[in-house]
Protein backbone atom coordinates (compact mmCIF):
# COMPACT_ATOMS: atom_id res chain seq x y z
CA UNK A 1 0.00 0.00 0.00
CA UNK A 2 1.35 3.43 -0.85
CA UNK A 3 0.01 6.96 -1.04
CA UNK A 4 1.15 10.21 -2.62
CA UNK A 5 0.72 13.20 -0.32
CA UNK A 6 -1.27 15.86 -2.18
CA UNK A 7 -1.66 18.13 0.84
CA UNK A 8 -0.07 17.61 4.22
CA UNK A 9 -1.78 18.60 7.43
CA UNK A 10 -0.92 19.67 10.93
CA UNK A 11 -0.23 16.66 13.16
CA UNK A 12 -0.76 13.75 10.77
CA UNK A 13 1.68 11.09 11.89
CA UNK A 14 2.41 7.40 11.41
CA UNK A 15 1.84 5.62 14.73
CA UNK A 16 1.71 2.14 16.16
CA UNK A 17 0.75 0.98 19.66
CA UNK A 18 4.03 2.22 21.11
CA UNK A 19 6.90 0.70 23.05
CA UNK A 20 5.85 -1.14 26.19
CA UNK A 21 8.02 -1.92 29.22
CA UNK A 22 10.92 0.40 28.41
CA UNK A 23 10.31 3.02 31.11
CA UNK A 24 13.38 1.82 33.01
CA UNK A 25 15.43 2.90 29.99
CA UNK A 26 13.84 6.34 29.88
CA UNK A 27 11.51 5.58 26.96
CA UNK A 28 7.86 6.52 27.25
CA UNK A 29 5.26 4.28 25.60
CA UNK A 30 4.33 6.90 22.97
CA UNK A 31 2.08 5.45 20.25
CA UNK A 32 -1.42 6.41 19.19
CA UNK A 33 -3.62 8.88 21.07
CA UNK A 34 -6.93 7.10 20.32
CA UNK A 35 -6.31 3.45 21.21
CA UNK A 36 -9.95 2.48 20.60
CA UNK A 37 -10.00 3.82 17.03
CA UNK A 38 -6.54 2.36 16.39
CA UNK A 39 -7.57 -1.12 17.55
CA UNK A 40 -10.76 -1.04 15.46
CA UNK A 41 -8.92 0.09 12.31
CA UNK A 42 -6.53 -2.85 12.56
CA UNK A 43 -9.36 -5.24 13.44
CA UNK A 44 -11.47 -4.16 10.44
CA UNK A 45 -8.54 -4.88 8.12
CA UNK A 46 -7.50 -8.13 9.83
CA UNK A 47 -4.12 -6.57 10.61
CA UNK A 48 -1.82 -7.39 13.51
CA UNK A 49 -2.80 -5.34 16.59
CA UNK A 50 0.48 -3.36 16.42
CA UNK A 51 0.43 -2.48 12.70
CA UNK A 52 1.04 1.20 12.01
CA UNK A 53 -1.72 3.65 11.09
CA UNK A 54 -1.88 7.27 9.98
CA UNK A 55 -3.23 9.25 12.91
CA UNK A 56 -4.82 12.49 11.70
CA UNK A 57 -5.49 15.45 13.98
CA UNK A 58 -7.54 18.45 12.79
CA UNK A 59 -8.01 17.15 9.21
CA UNK A 60 -6.69 18.84 6.09
CA UNK A 61 -4.80 15.79 4.81
CA UNK A 62 -5.20 14.73 1.16
CA UNK A 63 -3.68 11.52 -0.21
CA UNK A 64 -3.76 9.80 -3.60
CA UNK A 65 -3.79 6.00 -3.60
CA UNK A 66 -0.92 4.55 -5.63
CA UNK A 67 -2.32 0.99 -5.58
CA UNK A 68 -5.63 -0.79 -5.10
CA UNK A 69 -6.04 -1.63 -1.41
CA UNK A 70 -8.37 -1.66 1.57
CA UNK A 71 -8.49 1.02 4.26
CA UNK A 72 -10.46 1.69 7.43
CA UNK A 73 -11.13 5.20 8.74
CA UNK A 74 -11.98 5.33 12.44
CA UNK A 75 -11.95 7.93 15.20
CA UNK A 76 -13.34 11.45 15.12
CA UNK A 77 -15.48 12.55 12.16
CA UNK A 78 -13.18 14.75 10.07
CA UNK A 79 -15.46 14.90 7.00
CA UNK A 80 -13.71 12.00 5.25
CA UNK A 81 -14.25 11.79 1.48
CA UNK A 82 -13.09 9.58 -1.37
CA UNK A 83 -13.04 11.42 -4.71
CA UNK A 84 -15.15 14.19 -3.09
CA UNK A 85 -17.90 11.70 -2.11
CA UNK A 86 -18.65 11.23 1.59
CA UNK A 87 -17.27 7.85 2.64
CA UNK A 88 -18.28 5.52 5.43
CA UNK A 89 -16.27 5.38 8.61
CA UNK A 90 -15.77 2.39 10.91
CA UNK A 91 -15.89 -0.06 7.96
CA UNK A 92 -13.36 -1.70 5.66
CA UNK A 93 -13.35 0.20 2.35
CA UNK A 94 -11.82 -0.82 -0.97
CA UNK A 95 -10.00 1.99 -2.75
CA UNK A 96 -8.36 2.03 -6.17
CA UNK A 97 -5.21 3.47 -7.67
CA UNK A 98 -5.80 7.18 -8.32
CA UNK A 99 -8.53 7.61 -5.69
CA UNK A 100 -8.13 10.83 -3.71
CA UNK A 101 -8.75 10.63 0.04
CA UNK A 102 -9.50 13.84 1.92
CA UNK A 103 -10.10 14.62 5.57
CA UNK A 104 -11.71 17.97 6.40
Q: Mean pLDDT across the chain, nearest whole number?
A: 92
Confidence of residue 27 (pLDDT cuts 50, 70, 90): low
Confidence of residue 16 (pLDDT cuts 50, 70, 90): confident
CA distances from 30 to 15, 34, 56, 70 (A): 9, 12, 16, 26
What pLDDT, on the 0 to 100 scale, is given for residue 31? 82
Long-range CB pairs of 82-89 (<8 Å, 24+ gap) are none
The SS3 of residue 81 is: strand
Q: What is the pTM of this model?
A: 0.86
pLDDT digits (tens, 9 = 90+) for 42-62: 999 999 999 999 999 999 999
Amino acid sequence: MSFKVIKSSFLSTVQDYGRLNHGEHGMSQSGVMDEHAYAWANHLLNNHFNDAVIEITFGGLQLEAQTDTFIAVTGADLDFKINEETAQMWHSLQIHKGDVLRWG
